[in-house]
Each structure stands twice: as C-alpha cells, then as structure tokens.
Amino acid sequence: MEKYLIKKNTSLIEALKKITANGEKHVIVISNLGKAIGIISDGDIRRAILKKLKLTLPISKILNKNFLYFKENSFNKRKAIQYLQKSKIFFAPILNSKKIPINFITVNDSAARDLKHFHKNKKTKSEQVVIMAGGLGTRLKPFTNILPKPLIPLGDKTVIEHIIQKFSKFNFNKILITLNYKSKIIRSFFKEVRLKETISFFDEKIPLGTVGCLSKLKNKLRGNFFLTNADSIIDIDMNDFLEFHRKNNNDVTVVAALKKYHVSYGSCLIDRKGNLKSIDEKPRYDLLINTGLYIINSRVLKFIKKNKKTDIDEFLNILLKNKKKVKVFPISDLNWKDTGDWNEFSKLKEI
C-alpha cells in the first residue's frame, strides 16, 4: 500500500511522480497518524499546474476532503464496483474502523469484467495517429547515417514500434506515417514486421518542417487526430488526453512534461545599466517542456500554407494570433522518453 499513500505536506510535483509510478492515477492522502484525510488524482494536479500554482506547494492546498471510501467491515467488492461505475468514480480507498487505509478499489478491477453492464470496447477508434518520421535524426548521428531514427532499437523493439503500441493499447490503431529521410528502409521494415495496426504512409518529396506536410493531408484527416514525433515515447492514458481535448473544445492540445532544472552556479541579476542587483545561488526552475505529442482538430489545418516549410512552434504561434484555442496537458517527466537525443537515449533502459 505504501506506493498509494502520501503525506499531506508532500509537494505537488512529488505527488505527481508518485501517482505516475503507481499507475492508478490517484493517491490516498494521510495524516501524520496514518488516517485517510483525502485523495488526490493526476487531474487535480494538472488543474493546479494550469492555474499556475507553485509545484512546491503541499498537496493539502488542493486536497479533496469530500471523498468516497468503503468500510472494511461491510465491504462487498461486486457492489463497490457497481457503485463506482454508476457514480463515474474511478478510485476509492477501503478504510478500517480507525480510518486507516488497508486497500483500495478501482473501476479497472478485474472483478468488473464479470459485470454484464461493463464492457471494454476493443473496436478501433476513429481518431488517426500521425507519426512524423521524415526527420534526419541529426541528434543521433552517426547512427542515423545508416539507420533512420524511428528504427533505432530500444529493447527488443524499434522506437516507432514502442510509439505505436502506446496508442494501440487504447485502440487507436489507424496509423499514418510521414516519410522523407531513408523512407524505403522504413517501408521495408513494416512489410517485414506486419503489425496488427492499420499502417499507411505519406512521402514528403521535400522536407516541410514538423507540420508543413499536414497541408497535403487535409483530405485524409477529419476531426481530431493525434500528431507525434517519431522519437517521443509518451506513456499516458490516451483516452484521458483525448477527453481533456474534447471537454475543453480545443483546437490544439500540447502534451508538456514537468522538468526540474538545477543551475550549478550562482546567477547574477543585473539592471539595465549592468549593476548587480542580487545573486541567485544555484537556482532551480520548474518548466513545462513540449514533448512532441499533440491532438489537433483538422479545422485549423487551413492555417498551414501548402508547400511551405512550417515547424510546430510557428504553427502554434499563428493559431494564437488568430485566437484559436490551444491548451497544455501537463504530465510527469517520468511519462516521457526522449529517444531523439543520444545523451537521453543512452540513459534509457528497456521499456
């Protein structure tokens, strides 16, 4: 149970890391005496981040004290799951007579599969996944002089196979891969492996930046679609991501990872005349870093000019100038693997 429990004075960022590590999207908040006093979800922390609350704040500041729980001495697993599903509640602790957590239950519990009204839909979902795999892989040279970046091995699979699996896990099986550099090798690879997902390709005759080729895909993309780099492996619930995008009626949603940066030196703060105002000794910064994963609604593709090189930052700035709705979906940096940089790639273990 330890990985599902957290003290009330724990910081937001540490809580997010614990939630990410336990895989249940929730933690039970306990007092110094070990009693349950609330729960925190990844959604609670995400909303706090978007409100620009400091990540060093204790979780007691956003604690949900009015939470559902079940009593140990009267607990019935089947009835509990039915109640969770009916109430659209995903997680609830089980407490003993002293309100100390002894277990928890979720709607994903194995017993739920026996309920007639519970059905996990395995049908392929309509939203397409576009993987931008045409880049040169400059950060991974000299390896990419021989092998294209998406086919770099990580464990017993290639990077692009890992990316595809992160989507197919949630039944997003319609994959469109854009190609340019070493496109024949990538096509040959997919002929060989024959994945269960529906894979199609689009060849960029000339490089058009990270999103420029989307101008030529307007007739193939309808409604919301995922767009991802071919070097970003993002381990999140894609259904949650899509629901966030839909609920907010976004034109684009950007997945950003929380990163802590520590400067090892004192930072000099000066005025316009070069006079020293103060020294910030070894400052720390909490930043939201673009991971290269997006959901885009096809209605904004008209802002990409045909045959014009356009990178994602330029595209997003154009949308903002035209007052389109662009939001950020924050995640823990533990959910993001950047395989496009050799220093980062070399730190990765098998996924």
pLDDT in tens, 152-169: 888 888 889 999 999 999
pLDDT in tens, 131-152: 998 777 677 666 667 778 888 8
Residue range(s) in the chain whose domain bears CATH number 3.10.580.10: 2-114
Beta strands in the chain (DSSP E): 5-7, 26-30, 36-41, 70-71, 91-95, 101-106, 129-132, 153-154, 157-158, 174-179, 198-203, 224-229, 232-234, 252-262, 267-270, 276-280, 284-297, 326-332, 336-338
**Cβ-contact 351, 164 below 8 angstroms:** no
Confidence bin at 328 (pLDDT 50/70/90): very high
Residue range(s) in the chain whose domain bears CATH number 3.90.550.10: 129-345
Of 229, 92, 101, 216, give the one whose Cα is nearest residue 163: 229
Confidence bin at 118 (pLDDT 50/70/90): very low
Among 159-168, 219-228, 327-336, 342-351, whose mean pLDDT is lowest? 342-351
pLDDT in tens, 219-242: 889 999 999 998 889 999 999 999
**Cβ-contact 261, 198 below 8 angstroms:** no
The residue type found at 148 is P
Whether residue 218 is predicted with pLDDT greater than 90 in this model: the reply is no
Instruction: Take residue 77 and report the two structure tokens written for it.
Output: 């697993």
Distance CA 145, CA 320 (A): 37
Q: Which pLDDT belongs to residue 115?
A: 38
Confidence bin at 347 (pLDDT 50/70/90): low
Q: Which pLDDT belongs to residue 164?
A: 94
pLDDT in tens, 68-117: 999 999 998 888 888 888 888 889 999 999 999 999 988 776 444 443 34
Instruction: Take residue 52 and report the two structure tokens written for it.
Output: 């620009």
Whether residue 320 is predicted with pLDDT greater than 60 in this model: the reply is yes
Q: Which pLDDT belongs to residue 119?
A: 39
Distance CA 81, CA 90 (A): 9
Whether residue 290 is predicted with pLDDT greater than 90 in this model: the reply is yes
Of 348, 330, 339, give the one whose Cα is nearest residue 45: 330
| CB-CB neighbours of 313 under 10 Å | 12
Instruction: Take residue 38 and report the two structure tokens written for it.
Output: 């609330």
CATH value of 129-345 in 3.90.1150.10, 3.60.21.10, 3.90.550.10, 2.40.160.10: 3.90.550.10
Average pLDDT, the chain: 86
For the question of whether the overall pTM of this predicted structure is more than 0.85, the answer is no
Top CATH class, 2-114: alpha beta
Whether residue 121 is predicted with pLDDT greater than 80 in this model: the reply is no
The residue type found at 283 is P
Q: How far is CA 91 from CA 4, 7, 99, 280, 289, in A?
A: 11, 18, 16, 43, 29
Q: Which of 24 and 137 is assigned the larger pLDDT?
A: 24
Residues 6+ apart with CB under 8 A from 188: none
Confidence bin at 321 (pLDDT 50/70/90): very high
Q: How far is CA 161 from CA 69, 85, 197, 227, in A?
A: 40, 33, 11, 15
